């Protein structure tokens, strides 16, 4: 498939995007059974491979985010599936924008990027599922969904048999750490999902970004633990910052998720949503107090 790398894993094949699937690209998973073929997360890399792809019967999204659905329009006749909690994002661009919850002046350029860069087009025909769904592709080839919310409400990891491949979606094991910066994201759901995924049985682990493929459980767990530790690091750094009373605006300006110099157009709303969740949790646990309206300080300092 051109200059892009493919990693065969039995019935599964990882279709690597440019630069190892670094955002805005990603690594899609093609699963071929004797009777049907299923494509997971049609990325921008899939768009580049389009002339050489086989016929696809089913499209399965790990969740509803721009980089995971960029190639949906290439397969108008394939049946599209996504967890019911994320299905609204495929009904209209307005409802897709609600997943992010970005305010102006971020919202308008992001809306244009969804259409122009990521080829967003509604798929009102998309079928929602809840809980566990099994896609039988013939013989002993099947794909099982496992709800793992946090990144989005409907985020799932996907287990492919008989290969023992666990496709992790955006539990991407990167040094950046977990992303829970959208209106539909949840820090505490993400933590529960990380604990769940750590114990799932698999032989191979595949990520949508960065890492790609891991075939050693010890290596997978080490990378997962390092990925999860970013949450605790952000919270610890926030507590340190709040030794002096600060507002949430000051927290946003300081940058805990992104580096201060990163030119990320949606950095401010992501910081506000991400660190706002940490702040709310620290208040609830009485590790932070509101010393005056809108100004917070770590307790005991």
User: What is the domain-level CATH number for residue 68?
Assistant: 3.60.15.10
Number of independent structural domains in the chain: 2
Q: What is the pLDDT of residue 1?
A: 43
Q: Is residue 190 within a helix (H) or strand (E), and if so which, with residue range?
A: helix 187-199
Same domain, 211 and 248: no
How many CB atoms are closer than 10 A to CB 55? Answer: 9
Q: What is the pLDDT of residue 15?
A: 96
Higher-pLDDT residue of 52 and 288 is 288
> Quick check: 49 and 4 in contact, CB under 8 A?
yes
Rounded to an integer, the average pLDDT of 9-30 is: 95
Q: Is residue 162 within a helix (H) or strand (E), and if so which, with residue range?
A: none
Owning domain of residue 81? 6-218
pLDDT band at 39; cut points 50, 70, 90: very high
Same domain, 80 and 194: yes
Same domain, 252 and 157: no
Rounded-to-integer distance, Cα 33 and Cα 160, Å? 11
Rounded to an integer, the average pLDDT of 243-269 is: 96
Name the percent of the chain lying above pLDDT 90: 94
Same domain, 83 and 175: yes
Structure token pair of residue 271: 């910081």
Torsional class of 32: left (φ above 0), alpha (ψ -120 to 50), beta (otherwise): beta
On whether residue 38 sits in a domain, the answer given is yes
pTM value is 0.96
Same domain, 280 and 194: no
Q: What is the pLDDT of residue 301?
A: 54
pLDDT higher than 80, residue 3 = no
pLDDT band at 34; cut points 50, 70, 90: very high
Structure token pair of residue 68: 């995971």
Same domain, 82 and 195: yes
Matching residue, tokens 């750590």: 198
- CA-based torsion, 184, 186, 191, 192: positive or negative: negative
Last residue of a domain, one of 203, 218, 233: 218
pLDDT higher than 90, residue 106 = yes
Same domain, 76 and 111: yes
Same domain, 144 and 270: no
On whether residue 50 sits in a domain, the answer given is yes
pLDDT higher than 60, residue 4 = yes
> Quick check: 41 and 68 in contact, CB under 8 A?
yes
Same domain, 168 and 282: no
On whether residue 233 sits in a domain, the answer given is no
Last residue of a domain, one of 218, 252, 284: 218
């Amino acid at each position: 498939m051109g200059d892009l790398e493919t990693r065969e894993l039995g019935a599964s094949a990882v279709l690597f995007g440019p630069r190892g699937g670094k955002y805005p690209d990603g690594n899609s998973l093609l699963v071929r059974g004797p009777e049907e073929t299923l494509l997971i997360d049609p990325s921008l890399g899939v768009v580049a491979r389009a002339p050489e792809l086989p016929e696809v019967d089913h499209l399965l999204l790990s969740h509803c985010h721009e980089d995971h659905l960029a190639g949906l329009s290439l397969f108008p006749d394939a049946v599209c599936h996504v967890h019911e909690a994320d299905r609204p994002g495929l009904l209209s661009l307005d409802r897709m924008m609600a997943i992010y919850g970005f305010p102006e002046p971020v919202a308008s350029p992001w809306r244009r990027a969804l259409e122009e860069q990521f080829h967003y087009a509604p798929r009102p025909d998309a079928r929602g599922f809840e809980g566990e769904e099994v896609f039988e592709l013939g013989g002993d080839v099947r794909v099982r969904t496992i709800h793992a919310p946090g990144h989005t409400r409907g985020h799932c990891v996907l287990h492919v048999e008989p290969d023992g491949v666990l496709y992790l979606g955006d539990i991407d094991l990167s040094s950046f750490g977990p992303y829970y910066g959208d209106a539909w994201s949840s820090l505490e759901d993400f933590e529960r999902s990380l604990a769940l995924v750590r114990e799932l049985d698999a032989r191979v682990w595949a990520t949508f970004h960065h890492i790609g493929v891991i075939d050693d459980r010890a290596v997978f767990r080490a990378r997962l633990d390092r990925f999860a530790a970013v949450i605790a690091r952000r919270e610890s750094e926030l507590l340190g910052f709040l030794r002096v009373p600060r507002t949430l605006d000051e927290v946003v300006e300081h940058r805990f998720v992104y580096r201060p110099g990163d030119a990320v157009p949606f950095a401010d709303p992501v910081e506000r949503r991400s660190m706002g969740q940490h702040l709310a949790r620290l208040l609830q646990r009485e590790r932070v107090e509101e010393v005056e309206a809108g100004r917070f300080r770590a307790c005991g300092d």
